[in-house]
Amino acid sequence: MTSEDLETLAVADSGTRLAITLNRPAERNALTFGAWDDLDRVMSEVELRDDLRVVTLTGSGPAFCAGVDFGAIGAALEVERGSFPSFIRRWANIVDRFERVPQPSVAAINGPAIGAGLELALACDIRIASDRAIFAMPQLRMGIVPDVGGTSRLARATGEAFAKDVILTSRIVDAEEALRAGIVSRVVPHERLAAELEGVAAAIEDLPWPSAYFAGLAIDVGPRLDSRRAADIEAMADQVMLRQEEVWTRISRFMEGKGLRGI
């Protein structure tokens, strides 16, 4: 799939890395039905690709994503009031794909990540931010609840008290507070964000497959298990990885002092 096939995204496919850019800069990359459809198409293909090693997500222009484009959605929506909004479940499934695909996903948050934009970022495995980024979930000010996984993912990232603080007050969190709270793992000067994303993605891209998938799986499910079962997942993953010649080559190089500089 190329960018020409998509109305709201720019996509670059190197064969091992898929770089997705939300591409409605004039609308601060707000999500329309078309944008959700484009994300669905792209991530459906990612699920079927064994060659891809990493997926990246960022926004064009000054914003990462301003959330749902309620003007466009309201104009297009034909759902009886009071009926269950099944389209929201579909959107949630699309967001889930960023968390569910075997390839690690990396969000480079280049500016405001608001509402569903923050919910989308939270579904990515690694989140790095520009120092210009801000974060908010203002949905309750409109009388609606974050509805594509944001309540649970924010609570897992930051703890329940912080998540309730942000969601119930609709307050804005700057990049440094987001780093302290666990919304993101790195904050860099804005002009360095692209280079930081390149470094993170390249490091993951270089890993022997599917070690990154196994590690992510162990991290995701391990805290929910007792320590013995969590260790069993790690052991089963390494039983697979230690069958690969490339892994033994890397082990030899590591033991020769070529693995990590400075140790």
pLDDT bin (cut points 50, 70, 90) of residue 2 is low
Rounded average pLDDT over 160-169 = 98
Q: Is pLDDT above 80 for 157? A: yes
Residue 42 near residue 36, CB atoms below 8 Å: no
Residue 116 near residue 67, CB atoms below 8 Å: yes
Closest CA to 200 of 129, 249, 258: 129
Residue 154 near residue 95, CB atoms below 8 Å: no
pLDDT at 77: 60
Q: What are phi and psi of 173, to 5 degrees?
A: -110, 125
Residue 3 near residue 10, CB atoms below 8 Å: yes
Q: Beta strands 126-130 and 134-136: pairing type? A: unpaired
Distance (Å, whole) CA 252 – CA 76 = 59
- How many angstroms separate the Cα of 178 from the Cα of each of 23, 135, 136, 143, 182? 24, 8, 10, 24, 6
Digit-coded pLDDT (tens) for 205-261 = 999 999 999 999 999 999 989 999 999 999 999 999 999 999 999 999 999 886 665
Report residue 105 CA to chain centroid gap.
5
pLDDT at 86: 81
pLDDT at 82: 57
Peptide bond into 210 cis (omega under 30): yes
**Fold of the 3-205 domain:** 2-enoyl-CoA Hydratase; Chain A, domain 1 (3.90.226)
Per DSSP, the three-state class of 20 is strand
Report residue 136 CA to chain centroid gap.
16
Digit-coded pLDDT (tens) for 169-185 = 999 999 999 999 999 99
pLDDT at 84: 60
Lowest mean pLDDT among 3-7, 80-84, 101-105, 142-146: 80-84
Question: Distance between the two ends of the chain, CA-based, in angstroms?
Answer: 43
Distance (Å, whole) CA 155 – CA 152 = 5
Rounded average pLDDT over 151-165 = 97
Ranges for all domains in the chain classified under CATH 3.90.226.10: 3-205
For 243, counting Cβ atoms within 10 Å of its Cβ (0-12 exposed, 13-18 middle, 19+ buried), the class is exposed
pLDDT at 128: 98
Lowest mean pLDDT among 15-29, 83-97, 110-124, 206-220: 83-97
Report residue 33 CA to chain centroid gap.
20
Digit-coded pLDDT (tens) for 19-77 = 999 999 999 999 999 999 999 999 999 999 999 999 999 999 999 999 998 877 776 66
pLDDT at 79: 53
Structure tokens at 216: 């992510």
pLDDT bin (cut points 50, 70, 90) of residue 88 is confident
